[in-house]
Amino acid sequence: MDREDIQGIVASGYKHLDYARFVFLEIIDPVATRTWLDDIVNLVTSARHPGDNKLGTSLNVAFSSEGLEALIPNRLKGFPHEFVRGMSTYDANRILGDSGESAPRDWEYGAPSQKPLHLLLMLYGNTNLELQSLHRAVFDSSAFSDGMCVVAQQDSVRKHGDETEPFGFRDGISQPPVQGLLGRGEQGESPISAGEFVLGYKNELGLLAGIPSIDNWADPAGYLAEHPQYPGKCRAFGMNGTYLVFRKLLQRVDQFWGYIKDISSGPNDSELIAAKMVGRWRSGAPLVLSPETPASEPRNDFLFTETDPDGLACPIGSHIRRAHPRDSLDMPPARSLLISRRHRLIRRARKFSTLIKDSTKRNPKYEQGLYFIALNADLRRQYEFVQQQWINDPCFNGLDNDRDPIIGDNSTLGEFTINAKPISKHLRGLPQFVILRGGGYFFLPGIRAIKFLANYQL
């Protein structure tokens, strides 16, 4: 893979960088914006393996469909309907389950009635000082102030080594290993085809996903590679790019643990019920390998059907069994594994914790959640499929009234089935513990494509 051209966030979640900032921008003047892009493109972090010399800062840049159109009107071709449509439309809301409190009318940014999100900048630093230094290098210029305005800025700070999400569970365990982007550690599963996550490479179907293009005439300087599907006619604007989903997810931590406490018989029972809903203990140890008592090892080398076919250890409707069913779909296990590999996501979430306005020093109150980031080469087949068919389908895998108990589109009518023999237990009146507060769909281009955008002439 051309790691020099792929942006770094595809290959790394920057675990060593504890400070993150996500800045959403609106383009005011396309000419000044292109000048600004030319100024910062050399700061963009690539996926080149750093070896033992990890960077103290990282920068990545993504564009919405509207943002690309503002920079290059009516010239780019081949973007899929899902990306052009965006995440805030009625159709997308139905597919993703963004209803009720998660509907766009309550979003902080990204809704149709609000300022457009043209660009997303993702800045990371080892310390707050390094993050602020990167911020100044990116934004302190007349080209930026002339060309763009900030719509929203979101910060994330975590304690060094903290890998938990706000509910308290170990996060990021089940990342897919990607051919051509493998790290140094052992892989818990065979690598997924690179084309599932990066355009220009074969996917799990043995095909190339559609690569957005532009006419040869628009790139006289040859910034872009020749299009592999239309040689001699088009340039491959989308080569080495991918689609990025950004969602600000508010997690109702007190409500989650309060609900579990109300239905449990004691602390140990509370831990078990919470683990049943997630599919793992807080440590990340999977229930299929440690069904009775918590274990400390956050393992990912397991299958469901060969170990727990009836969901007696890890319930059929638990979060991890929905998000990555492995061999447990209602079909032969080998076929299920094959299908699961075609719906994987790279996740790069960061958590947030901000003081609520009515907080006091004596009684501080925090709003907690995740900035959820997912990367995939096919929004419809990967992210939207998982959200609609696995997370929010009440009939998933033989169930009849269960959505994902953690991130599903539940209300007080929500239900979760804890599989047992002879009679399963049903948790009813399940609230919605995770609420969407904004976001959008973006395209994360290759670095050559950013240079092309910076030097494009109308």
pLDDT tens for each residue of 213-239? 999 999 999 999 999 999 999 999 999
Is the confidence at residue 361, as pLDDT, over 80?
no
- Assess if residue 19 is contained within a domain: yes
Contact status, residue 434 vs residue 255, Cβ threshold 8 Å: no
Domain count for the chain: 2
Say yes or no: 290 and 389 in one domain: yes
Q: What is the pLDDT of residue 311?
A: 97
Distance between CA atoms of residues 87 and 433, nearest Å: 21
Spatial distance between the Cα atoms of 79 and 241, rounded to a whole number of angstroms? 12
What mean pLDDT is predicted for residues 97-107?
96
Is the per-residue pLDDT at 189 higher than 90?
Answer: no
Looking at the domain assignment, is residue 418 inside a domain? yes
- Find the range with the poorest average confidence among 39-43, 162-166, 359-363, 446-450: 359-363
The mean pLDDT of 136-164, rounded to a whole number, is 96
pLDDT band for 411, please (50, 70, 90 cuts).
Answer: confident
Q: What's residue 281's pLDDT?
A: 98
Average pLDDT over residues 306-318: 96
Task: Quickly state the pLDDT bin for 182 (edges 50, 70, 90).
Answer: confident
Q: 222 CB contacts (<8 Å, ≥6 apart)?
A: none
Interatomic CA distance for residues 196 and 209, integer angstroms: 8
209, 126: one domain: yes
Q: Is residue 361 part of a domain?
A: yes
pLDDT 10s digits, 48-58: 988 778 899 99
Name the band, by pLDDT with cuts 50, 70 and 90, for residue 185: low
306 and 412 both lie in a single domain: yes
Percent of the chain with pLDDT over 70: 99
Closest CA to 197 of 173, 177, 213, 172: 177
Looking at the structure, tell me whether residues 119 and 180 fall in a common domain. Answer: yes
Range of the domain at 269: 249-438
pLDDT at 212: 98
273 and 203 in a single domain? The answer is no
Q: Is residue 409 in some structural domain?
A: yes
> Is 2 domain-assigned?
no
H-helix segments, 279-388: 319-323, 333-341, 385
The predicted structure's pLDDT at residue 12: 95
CA–CA separation, 445 and 241 (whole Å): 4
pLDDT for the residue 187: 63
Question: Are both 74 and 175 inside the same structural domain?
Answer: yes
Do residue 277 and residue 135 come from a single domain? no
Residue 174 covered by a domain: yes
* Residue 32: pLDDT band with limits 50, 70, 90: very high
* pLDDT number for residue 8: 97
Rounded to two decimals, the pTM is: 0.96
Query: Is pLDDT of 356 > 90?
Result: no
CA–CA dist 165, 109 (Å, integer):
22
398-403: long-range contacts, CB 8 A cutoff, minimum separation 24: 398/316, 398/330, 399/316, 399/317, 402/317, 403/97, 403/317
Q: Is 444 in a helix, a strand, or coil?
A: strand
Find tokens 């990282």 and name the residue.
58
State the sign of the Cα–Cα–Cα–Cα dihedral 329, 330, 333, 334: negative
Mean pLDDT of 368-387: 98
Q: What is the pLDDT of residue 49?
A: 86
Instruction: Compute the 3-state secondary structure of the chain and give helix, strand, coil in percent, each to the nearest 5.
Output: 30, 20, 50
Q: What is the mean pLDDT of residues 86-104?
A: 96
Is residue 208 pLDDT above 70, yes or no? Answer: yes
- Shared domain for 53 and 117, answered yes or no, is yes
Q: Are 33 and 104 members of one domain? A: yes
Same domain, 168 and 270: no
Name the band, by pLDDT with cuts 50, 70 and 90, for residue 358.
confident
Residue 261 counted as domain residue: yes
Angle at 446 between CA 203 and CA 180, to 5 degrees: 45
Whether the Cβ atoms of residue 221 and residue 214 lie closer than 8 Å to each other: no
β partners of residue 416 = 427
Asked if the structure places residue 3 within a domain, the reply is: no
378 pLDDT above the threshold of 80:
yes
Instruction: Indicate if 298 and 230 belong to the same structural domain.
Output: no
Same domain, 278 and 424: yes
Q: Which stretches within 333-400 are classed as H helix?
A: 333-341, 385
Closest to 445 measured CA to CA, from 128, 223, 127: 223
Q: Which of 123-137, 213-227, 381-395, 403-417 has the lowest mean pLDDT?
A: 403-417
Here the tokens at position 220 are 């006289």
In this structure, what are the phi and psi dihedrals at residue 302, rounded to the nearest 5 degrees? Answer: -150, 160
Distance between CA atoms of residues 289 and 295, nearest Å: 9
